Amino acid sequence: MFGDVWRRLAEEECLTKLKKNARNDLDQAEEEQRLATDRHSEDGATTDEFTVTHAKKHILVSKWPLYKECIKENRPFDWDEEYRFVDYVVGSKEDFQDSWTSVDYVYSPFNVHDNHWVLLCLDLVSCQVKVWDSLPSLTTAEEMTNILLPIRELVPKLLDSTGFFDRRGRSSTYKEPWPVVIVDSIPLQRNNSDCGVFTIKYFEYIAAGVGLDTLCQENMSYFRKQLAFQLWTNTPMY
């Protein structure tokens, strides 16, 4: 009996220490990120406006066959019926109230080959799809371009249907499929299991406007613990 009591007490004490250490680690990381952001602002740089959506990418890809069928049969694809698309772009979603006309970049995680995560950036300024890939040897640029065809073709059509290009004063050339740009000179993973963490951290570092010096393979173990703590305690970094 006493053995069980002591064991439970030891487990509770160990858990308390783990929480305290994780909290201290998170506080330190937040302070470092705050200082880095302050330095970034003091240097006169400005943080680009951005917004994030993951669900919309899945919706677009799932509607790709229907869109191709409409094109084949020479009939219009009714974007108004696909209200979820338009709601995201015009900012009328309850949890997504920034119109895309007011931002420059849209970021989203994207799964490739059903086993690899990358970060996508819809560059609404240059009208390109930029890819942050921590394991570029897995997918060639040509393969990535083909994989992203639904995004490349449907996004400009969707934007055009909402009057985005007219408001931005863009020419009709931007309504064509957008090119894919593989972002280079970024930190890469050195194993086959950290793509998800790299994808999350790419975005966090971009959002904070800080350099990528500390985003490296050696820090992945710490980042995993940090993310676990954030999920457990519902205390996001941003």
User: Total structural domains in the chain?
Assistant: 1
What's the count of helices (H) and strands (E) in the chain, helices before strands? 8, 5
Which residue spans within 72-212 are E strands per DSSP? 105-112, 116-123, 128-132, 180-182
Query: Of 108, 115, 106, which Cα lies nearest the Cα of 195?
Result: 115
What per-residue confidence (pLDDT) applies to 147? 93
Domain hosting residue 116, numbered range: 50-187
Q: Angle between the 2-42 and 220-233 helix axes, to the nearest 10 degrees?
A: 110
Helix H or strand E encompassing 97: none
In a domain, residue 238? The reply is no
Please give the pLDDT value at position 81: 55
Give domain status of residue 232, yes or no: no
Is residue 119 included in any domain, yes or no?
yes
pLDDT of residue 190: 95
Residue 90: what are its φ and ψ, rounded to 5°? Answer: -90, -5
**Token pair 């680690």 in the structure block, residue:** 25
- Asked, for residue 114, whether it belongs to a domain, the answer is yes
Whole-number Å distance between alpha carbons of 222 and 233: 16
Residue at 97 is within a domain = yes
Give the rounded distance of the alpha carbon of 15 from its chain centre. Answer: 32
Encode pLDDT of 19-65 as tens digits.
Answer: 454 455 445 544 444 443 343 334 433 334 444 454 455 556 666 67
| Below-70 pLDDT ranges, the chain | 1-64, 66-68, 71, 77-84, 95, 171-172, 236-238
Q: What is the CATH number of the domain that holds 173?
A: 3.30.310
Classify residue 213 by its DSSP letter.
T
Residue 157 domain-assigned (yes or no): yes
The answer to whether residue 179 sits within a structural domain is: yes
